[in-house]
Amino acid sequence: MSFGSDEYVEMFEIGGPRAVGIKFGRRGFARVLVTQMERAVKNLYNEGVRKIAVMGVGPMGYAPRILWDGRRRLHGKNCIEEVNEVVSSYNDKLAERLLNLQSMLSGLQIVFCDIYRGMMEIISNSHTYGFSSVKNACCGVGDFGAMVGCQNLEMSCSDPSSHIWWDFYSTTEAVNSLLANWSWSPPESRLQICQPIDLHQLLSTT
């Protein structure tokens, strides 16, 4: 299960149509999203589901469109820190709520995968993982490849695997592959982003 990314996109975009941040406030909005996720988990539990994986939200303060919207506030920084702080707070609240749910609902196994942590590992060590472009979208034009979004493949870069970001907010297949490997069954030497167990262990348990 994963939601929150699109909702935060709307909140942080300039002139977002729902103006959700104004309505709830940023802390209140996190509580709203966590409550929605809790409700979704309970609904699945009531339908007989006993194994659930929940994905957190990544560090959207590095997303090309967020950088483009906030370019006048960067002042030499690599991200919009305020955005990352808000998203990180949401992830912490979500992980805590999921832990409480597991203790409340008999037989339920929940795994929380910290996509934020995985993404920060990739961004902080981009060259180690083969990425030469951290800020720019592979598909798009303008500063950060985010003034005009990806409308066709002719707009894309020649080597997507060298980029962390595919378009405004989406990561490339190369990034997704790393996150998937770390979520499924990471070697001991690699980052384990899912807690308390990885997804392979979740599916293997009875």
pLDDT of residue 99 exceeding 50, the answer is: yes
pLDDT of residue 133 exceeding 70, the answer is: yes
Q: In what order do the strands lie in the sheet with 109-113?
A: 51-55, 109-113, 194-195
What range defines the domain where residue 144 resides? 5-204
pLDDT tens for each residue of 187-197: 665 688 999 99
Q: Of 181 and 28, which is predicted with more confidence?
A: 181
Q: What is the mean pLDDT of residues 115-122?
A: 96
Sign of CA dihedral 67, 71, 73, 77: positive
Give the span between the Cα atoms of 7 and 189, in whole angstroms: 34
Per DSSP, the three-state class of 189 is coil
pLDDT tens for each residue of 49-92: 999 999 999 999 999 999 998 888 887 888 999 889 989 999 99
Question: Minimal CA–CA distance to 116: which of 51, 181, 194?
Answer: 194
Question: What global pTM score does this model have?
Answer: 0.88
Structure tokens at 123: 């961004």
**Total domains present in the chain:** 1
**CATH number, residue 147:** 3.40.50.1110
Pairing status of strand 109-113 against strand 194-195: antiparallel
Residue 15: the pLDDT is: 45
